[in-house]
Amino acid sequence: MKVLRNPTSLEHLKVPADLAAQLKELAKSFDVTQVEPISCTEFADRAAAASWIELRHTGPRGGRGVVPWSSIARARFEEQRDKRSPVLQAVDLLLRHGDLTEAEKDQIHSADFNLSTFARIIGGKRAKELMGLAIRNGKLGTGLPISEAIKPLKRIALDIAAKHMKVGAVMLKEQQEAVVSALPSEAKPDLSLVTDEWRPFDDIVEVDEQPKPSTKKQPSVRKAPVRRFVVRDPKAFKIDKPRIREIFQEICDLQLDQHVNAVAVLMRVFLELSTEAYLERHGMPFEFGPVGRRKFKKLSEKISDAIKHMIDAGADQKQFSAIERALKNDQSVFSIDFLHDCVHNSYSFPVPGDLGPTWDNAEPFFARIWS
């Protein structure tokens, strides 16, 4: 901006001649009123700004720096803007009906999963034909039995997650076709099973559900009631810590469809404070280091200590498998980075339908602490 406002300042800078000429030409039409005022913070010198420069360029650092999006998180943001892409529809189908292990789901959810590679293959016309897929009005679907349609999608997604495939290898339609053609036989769909009954992936409730023809009037199907509150039975918890009790009461009182962000953050806070209360009650330290430089353990370490103590006291280890998986899933409310993401990432959206099941999975852990 200084150069555009005063192009003569270029004389004191080491700038290539062609770039200097371009800047001088741009300066002729530059209007500072079109860009000012600029929201910023000015430091006296580079040394004073060094710590902030470091935070900007060295990753999340436990929430102190910039929290990047995973490709799935970015696609979820686009979904909020009514731009839900066919590739995200394919990912959702795999997560719902792909018979993936928890480890495979974690791989697809991770920031390393290259969604653009998956999107290019699904976007290729001939590649889609070989997989028995089609996009109609922005909806990805198939005339195949869903179990057949899932085969190539699952294999390709897992290959991408394992970094066996890069976007540079599927830039051209011939490359996209070659990837699908080279799939092993067990990962290819049986295209002879294609019917005229095309169904969008978003409408799939069960794999290979077959509607039964009938001349009789079908009874109306009662929809499952929408879950309004996270905690099903608040009276089951006896919380003796005043602040934690107040947080729990707010979680119980807030309706999911109206206060999803507040409920999500409060759940994450309740998890950490409850865990620390349990460790404190049983004389288990959650700080370490010399006096004057004490540090808190990570949340995952505190929860692991608490669960181990519970199991040693006779609890069934299976009760805690769900919450342990949630801690490793960066899309979960109880993930280690979730609270940092909510605070620092304005495009992170908790999903109301996820909060209830997340609480249910963690409830055995909370019940051990507060029953």
Find out whether 191 and 128 touch, Cβ atoms under 8 Å: no
Average pLDDT (340-368) is: 76
pTM, rounded to two decimals: 0.42
Read off the pLDDT band of 324 (50, 70, 90). Answer: confident
Find out whether 115 and 87 touch, Cβ atoms under 8 Å: yes
Average pLDDT (194-206) is: 83
CA distance 256 to 5: 52
Q: How many CB atoms sit inside 10 A of residue 185's CB?
A: 7
pLDDT tens digits, 22-40? 888 888 888 878 777 777 7
Predicted pLDDT at 247:
94
Residue 81 has pLDDT above 80, yes or no: no
Residue-level length of the chain:
371
Residue 103 has pLDDT above 50, yes or no: yes
Predicted pLDDT at 349:
66
326 vs 103 pLDDT, higher one: 103
The string of DSSP letters for 292-359 reads: TS-EEPPHHHHHHHHHHHHHHTT--GGGGHHHHHHHH-TTSTTSTTHHHHHHH-TT----HHHHHHHH
Please give the share of the chain, as a percent, with pLDDT higher than 70. Answer: 80
